[in-house]
Amino acid sequence: MPVEPYRDIWPSIDPTAYVHPSAVIIGDVHIGANCSIWPGVVIRGDVNYIRIGARSNVQDGSILHVTRVTEEHPQGIPLLIDEDVTIGHQVSLHACHLRARSMVGIGAIVLDGVVVEEEAMVGAGSLVAPGKRVGAGELWLGSPAKMVRILDERARRAIAATTENYVRLANEYRLSTHASG
């Protein structure tokens, strides 16, 4: 797995996390306990930092990046992913904040300064424009994405079940990789 420093800052990966060998992780990135980073993922914490909370999963082909210091954003904008977050295949996350137990669907794009609140979902193929706030429990769809409804309890349980499944799957992969290595 390509893990590289940027300006002498190395990624920090919890030993219980599973990171596929084809993932690329650069710079100021912290990956929490029981996370999973799947094939072809690029996580680039160079001009700001990235934090991925426990039990979150970043699925195949996703790209995670940050925003540099600018006049408008004198601190830049980091990328923050809280615990128990599911990020679908080929998602692009740029300098946003995904709060606990949220989900971003396949092929979605979430841009600078967006906050996706707890137990909210950005649907597959959606584009969330800079600075938007996806409220707790909301489902946003479209390009540009807009709130379409409040997720019911069944949908919230489905998000939690997906996260739990990825924790189990990652543990299987991690243990089989260690056993064969």
Of the options 2.160.10.10, 1.10.287.3610, 3.30.800.10, 1.20.120.160, the CATH number for the domain spanning 3-180:
2.160.10.10
In this predicted structure, the answer to whether residue 1 has a pLDDT above a threshold of 90 is no
CB atoms within 10 A of CB 21: 8
Q: Supply the pTM of this predicted model.
A: 0.96
Mean pLDDT for 148-173 is 96
Say which residues have a Cβ less than 8 Å from residue 10's Cβ, sequence separation at least 6.
Answer: 3, 4, 27
Q: Give pLDDT tens digits for 121-144.
A: 999 999 999 999 999 999 999 999
Rg (Cα) of the chain, in Å, rounded?
16
For the chain, domain boundaries: 3-180
The overall average pLDDT reported for the chain is 96
Task: Quote the pLDDT of residue 128.
Answer: 98
Strands, E, within 53-175: which ranges? Answer: 57-58, 63-65, 79-81, 86-87, 92-94, 97-98, 103-104, 109-110, 115-116, 121-122, 127-128, 133-134, 138-142, 145-150
In this predicted structure, the answer to whether residue 174 has a pLDDT above a threshold of 80 is yes
